[in-house]
Amino acid sequence: MVNGETFQISYYAKKHGKFITRNGKWNDKCKYWFSKSLKPLITYFDVDADNYRTASGVIGLREGELMATHNWCHNPDCHTYQTTDRVRGSGNNKVLRTRKIKIQDMSKGYYLQGWENHFCRVACFFQYVKLHIDRIIAIAPVREPSETPIKVEKEKYETWNYQSDENGNYNRVPRMATRTKVIGVNND
């Protein structure tokens, strides 16, 4: 590796408990070395973390390549929607361009659903689903219902009714009622 060279590095990250791939850049402070127990190590500059990282158990090193940081919105009509943020070009050569999406780590942010890395908004996502629904269903068709074993229990609980009196006031009148409760069965 030479200074300034970029690469993709894949290794087992104990901290995350899984194999990860990161964008790296080589400089003077980067090195190949060995731990006390003679495990081969690579200290590299991690472009995404903006800091140095030491990797052991490296399973892949692709020189000259960086991972894509953005995707284009996958709705084929995205570039036809007339919004000012899609306008590119100058003078008489202006166009509406497909929106670019910054790729996020989907394991971070519990509110992320997974589609956000490929579509600029939910309407674009649904446009794509509408267009390709038959092929999407063909990936994993459902031809039989599934069943979840449960227990159903009846439960008594206290509630109330409202009754109006002769003065037109509403009063709470307590009563007992029954409801049906679905209880999951643990079948580990």
Binding site for Zn ion (CB under 5 A): 73, 75, 78, 99, 120, 124
Q: How far is CA 12 from CA 26, 31, 39, 62, in A?
A: 20, 18, 13, 16
d(CA 18, CA 27): 26
CB of 136 to Zn ion, least distance (A): 18
CB of 66 to Zn ion, least distance (A): 24
CB of 72 to Zn ion, least distance (A): 8
Which residue's CB is nearer to Zn ion, number 123 or number 177? 123
Which residue's CB is nearer to Zn ion, number 42 or number 78? 78
Which residue's CB is nearer to Zn ion, number 66 or number 96? 96
Task: Name the one residue in this structure whose structure tokens are 């069965």.
Answer: 185
CB of 140 to Zn ion, least distance (A): 25
Amino acid at 90: S
Tokens of 184: 């999951």
Full DSSP string of 27-61: -TT-EEEE-TT--EEEEEEETTTTEEEEEESEEEE
Which residue's CB is nearer to Zn ion, number 22 or number 99? 99
What do you get for the CA distance between the two ends of the chain, in Å?
A: 50
